[in-house]
Structure 1
């Protein structure tokens, strides 16, 4: 897997594969703790290691563990890598149509989702899923095999994930049961409308919950408050606009819903540890001015 990824991801940063849902990741050196926003997906690290920090929990994903996110979550990550042994990984987005079909089939076969749903999980990479990953990389190394075999191998990857050690919690989350389903729908709404004014009361009403109950269930799933979550999504999107579209801090802040430039600058610095202009310059350098279609992955898979 390492040899294949070294060829598929020859440059630092993110490389698109032939399939829209698969991206390759490479880092030639360590990356300090950085705020990120991951979209729902699977991250499999074949060399090097990463740690995700969410509230008081640490999620390690390396050659022995992979990461699964069933909802979009803002958190922070740290990367271990060297020039001799760069981080090499791939991320696979979640196709809910395929996953729903698999979950229904598994449910019919007695694979009940008895575990409580979780928004983020680090789980052991067993031999079956490792084998599927290897075959996916081999297929994506060939334009013809990638187009023909890739989708069916990804389907098998989903299946192995769903019946793995923590498959019950993943199935419960993806099946959108109970309060998890209500909060998941609210998160999707926030990501669609992050640039529009929104109140916690409106979100609680959308979830069909009282405000205290909404706060409790929201924090249980995301490990943060609704206000902090919205703020993080807006700031992450503003950073992407500055990197990808060369917007000024003022323009980016306004685009994502900030009326006050000073408030935007203050909250941006608090989240990223640097003022907006400096952060944009550092990130452009770190990702070597990749084409905009690849930079779009920064928010999802850094």
Structure 2
């Protein structure tokens, strides 16, 4: 359900399409005045709060609906696909907050809830309904953006309050698991971090499984449950999304980018890229619909 107060607060602060940086670190405002088709994306771990409009995320065989009155909790930088529904009359409006690991650690360490029970209902990407407390916290955060002095002095505490409320939600345990290093979730998180850090290197699933202290079959099973795809499928999508980002910056040519993201054959890279994005890398340009 749309909260008109939040809509009215954000509207004067956003004029351009896409993400807009704000006076508060790790906080960006969102605006999109048209519907966008299903496209590949990757978000940094964080909270995506929708106050008007709606989006559908597709991760593996899951559909994640985050409409007005909801927010997306994303604990891992997972490649996924996203569809946006908006118009000129009712643009999509929202707030994006990147999760600061230090802040998250501080909040979890002082929490009285030491008994983490991560169940199969907790995913690295899930939609959560806005509680009254979360609405109030987000409102105070947005209000701080109207005054530079308030943003500078009170901004960090307003962000802290929003993250605290997210920890009280149904996905709070998924956030805590990033800090407490418990169970299979934590082991797969470490494997995902390793893939991101070694994007240009050859990857052996057997080595990833060994590092996680699992059998290959067990590793595949837990990886797919969390990431929504097999390790090699995840790696391919990650490499192609990274390649698109590099292409959009315009500093490297296609051959250099293919090596940068771990492809030994530029021809294989071009085939995979065209299959995934619908256009060859030599033709692809920065698209307006790729920022939301």
TM-score of the superposition, structure 1-length normalised?
0.88
In structure 2, the CA distance between the partners of 1:47 and 1:64, relative to structure 1 (3 Å rule), is same
Q: Structure 1, residues 11-51: CA drift from partner, whole Å, max 9, x if none? A: 01121112331112211101100011122110001111111
Counterpart of 2:176? 171
Q: Structure 1, residues 255-287: CA drift from partner, whole Å, max 9, x if none? A: 212121111111112221222233325x1xx17
Give the CA deviation at 1:9: 2.2
Distance 1:206 1:245 in 2: 36
Give the CA deviation at 1:122: 0.7
Structure 1 segments of 4+ aligned residues over 6 angstroms from their partners: none
Distance 2:179 2:39 in 1: 27
Counterpart of 2:116? 113
Structure-to-structure mapping, 1:47-66, within 5 angstroms: 47-66=52-71
Does the 8 Å CA contact 1:176/1:184 hold for their aligned counterparts?
A: no
Structure-to-structure mapping, 1:84-123, within 5 angstroms: 84-106=89-111, 109-110=112-113, 112-116=115-119, 117-123=122-128
Counterpart of 1:34? 39
Q: Structure 1, residues 102-153: CA drift from partner, whole Å, max 9, x if none? A: 22322xx346333424211111111110111111111122211111111001
Counterpart of 1:227? 232
Does the 8 Å CA contact 1:46/1:89 hold for their aligned counterparts?
A: yes
Give the CA deviation at 1:176: 3.2
Structure-to-structure mapping, 1:284-295, within 5 angstroms: 286=288
Structure-to-structure mapping, 1:173-192, within 5 angstroms: 174-192=179-197
In structure 2, the CA distance between the partners of 1:242 and 1:102, relative to structure 1 (3 Å rule), is same
Comparing 11-20 and 213-222, the one that deviates more: 11-20
Distance 1:44 1:174 in 2: 22
Give the CA deviation at 1:197: 1.8
Give the CA deviation at 1:173: 5.1
Distance 1:111 1:181 in 2: 16
Counterpart of 1:290? none
Counterpart of 2:267? 262
Counterpart of 1:249? 254
Q: Which has the higher helix share?
A: 1
Counterpart of 1:292? none
Distance 1:29 1:278 in 2: 24
Give the CA deviation at 1:250: 2.5
1:25 to 15, 30, 45: 30
Distance 1:23 1:33 in 2: 22
Does the 8 Å CA contact 1:33/1:76 hold for their aligned counterparts?
A: yes
How many residue pairs match? The answer is 285
Comparing 262-271 and 16-25, the one that deviates more: 16-25
Distance 2:251 2:173 in 1: 43
In structure 2, the CA distance between the partners of 1:54 and 1:4, relative to structure 1 (3 Å rule), is same
CA RMSD for the aligned pairs?
A: 1.8
